[in-house]
Amino acid sequence: MIKIKKEKVDEAAIEFCKEVIKEPLLHFSESDLHVLLIEKLYEKIPLLKKKKYDTNVNRGKNSKTFYKTRLVHREYGGGEKTRMDIVIFDEGDVKEISHPNLTKKNSKSYLKPPFAFELGTEKIGEKMTKAHVESDIKKLKNKAKCGYLIHIFRDNTRSPSNTRTREKTEQKLERKIKNIFSRDGVIIPKNVKIVFIILSPFRDQTKTWGKCKIFNKNDTNYEWVPVGIKNKLKIEKILKEQLQ
């Protein structure tokens, strides 16, 4: 029985983030991030791509064989008119599928996947509010055993460092996200891991320092940690701490 390990999912998530930090123009939209994340999941967990697993949906009235599916799916339903960006099932979950809608008893009895992802970019604009994040966290908390909320924000401001325009733009974005998780803000449940990254590809065009900031949360504090985009060890360390 194939059961996917969280350590491997974490590794894929970290490699995904590192790739986007290194090359911030890899994605045009959130959909591009979906594709890149799935590529990393396939690299770290080859069985997700190579194998197909039996559902409990019979191929015909008198057939003794069953239709197969993979363990990774996009836009999987969570009930109450919700969708999850990416989900990962175990083999045992797939064997519970008895409806063509990849559900159990009926078209709306969705499985609760071991892992689920919600992704976002700066293009969600004004929707990037406390209510939006709170909704995503609530969905991951209730619809998945372990949820990942990953948002990648590109600050495309071309103003040089130490200018008023640069500082105002960066501070506004940092403050907006930090306030979501302030003392009276959104509560992060134990089964949901959050990763928020700000990329400033034009901050210092000849330098690597300051082009990446990772939101670091712990039990007592929330802060933005600047890191050089080539400092892979520090990037990995911070991301691992967020995924614990």
**Each residue's pLDDT tens digit, 72-111:** 999 999 888 899 999 999 999 999 999 999 999 898 899 9
Q: What is the pLDDT of residue 186?
A: 82
Does the global pTM surpass 0.85?
Answer: yes
- Give one DSSP letter per residue of the chain, joined into a string: -----HHHHHHHHHHHHHHHHH-TTS-SSHHHHHHHHHHHHHHH-THHHH--EEEEEESSTT-S-EEEE-SEEEEEEEETTEEEEEEE--HHHHTT--BTTTBSSSTT-B---SEEEEEEEGGGGGG-SHHHHHHHHHHHHHH-SEEEEEEEEE----PPTTSHHHHHHHHHHHHHHHHHTSTTS----TTEEEEEEEE-TTSSTT--TTSEEEEEE-SS-EEEEEE-TT-HHHHHHHHHHHH-
**Each residue's pLDDT tens digit, 141-154:** 999 999 999 999 88
**Each residue's pLDDT tens digit, 198-215:** 998 887 766 667 789 999
